[in-house]
Amino acid sequence: MTDQQSTADSKSEPIWKKLIADKAPWRWHGNVLVENGAVADHVIERKFGISNFIVKYIYGRQNRCRSVRQVVSAAVAHLGKQNCGLNFGAGYVRYAPNILNFDLELTPNADLVSAGTLKLPFKDNSLHLIISQEVLEHVDRPFDAIAEFHRTLSPEGEFVLQLPFIIGYHPGPTDFWRFTTEAFAQLLPASQWNIIERRITVGHGTALHRILTEFIAVHFSIFGGRVYRLVKGLVAVLLYPLIAFDLLLPLLPEKDRIPGGYIVRAMPVK
């Protein structure tokens, strides 16, 4: 290889390659790092349509609610531009160029494609931010995932963890868990994590909206999945005003009874 070729190759390599452990069982697929056993033979493009609009902005709006946006924005701003972060289960979201997207599928924005082993390819203490938004309910071993987050985060790093509580079954591709406010003391014990902030994402109005939508739609599943999805979308739109009850959240002493979910910011204790 000539010096000119070597220089060209080094320029094409992602700047975060230095964070990868030498013996990690992953391979490069262009500028995407793929775990051995993962499928990354074609890009999964995002679908657009009225059903996707309803899910994103009406039925599954929790990732875009005010409390979530504020927590995530603060963490991203604290990361700065000189360090790297990870969005674990990013989907099609890109928060910043230096926040790597980690997923099970090769999406247009993916930087790392996992085979589902929960083993991150990064060196110890190499990341300064990890974001996981409503992903761990789909993971069969959430404590193992959090242990990897703790290992790879630097002592000054931050962990943003968003989890659902009152929400219907939604396989993606699996769905195992729901989390109360007390669950975070188990997931993020004080001996290993310092919880900086904890907020409710969406409140009891959104929880009622989702459960009542499912309650009505599931009766129509007797006519098949297509009818079920059609009714679910229609009912979600019609019942959307129920989320206005979330505005009462600051006034309610028992607000932790049936919220839609929680989001926390934490720092590792090392």
User: Does residue 3 sit within a domain?
Assistant: no
Give residue 31's domain range: 15-203+250-268
Could you read off the pLDDT tens digit of each residue along the chain, which spans 270 residues?
Answer: 334 333 334 445 688 999 999 988 999 999 999 999 999 988 999 888 898 899 999 999 999 999 999 999 999 999 988 999 999 999 999 999 999 999 999 999 999 999 999 999 999 999 999 999 999 999 999 999 999 999 999 999 999 999 999 999 999 899 999 999 999 999 999 999 999 999 999 999 999 999 999 999 999 999 999 999 999 999 999 999 999 999 999 999 999 999 999 999 999 999
User: Does residue 225 sit within a domain?
Assistant: no
Residues 201/67, Cβ–Cβ less than 8 Å: yes
| Model confidence, pTM | 0.93
What one-character DSSP code corresponds to residue 107? Answer: -
Q: What is the CATH number of the domain that holds 162?
A: 3.40.50.150
Query: How many residues in total does the chain contain?
Result: 270
Question: How big is the CA angle at 248 (ends 243 and 253), to the nearest 5 degrees?
Answer: 125
DSSP three-state, residue 38: coil
User: Does residue 230 sit within a domain?
Assistant: no
Nearest Cα to Cα of residue 204 among 152, 147, 242, 162:
242
CA distances to 106, 167, 216, 228, 257 from 93, in Å: 13, 22, 31, 28, 30
Structure tokens at 147: 């242990």
The C-alpha atoms of residue 170 and residue 203 are separated, in whole angstroms, by 19
User: Does residue 93 sit within a domain?
Assistant: yes
User: Does residue 231 sit within a domain?
Assistant: no
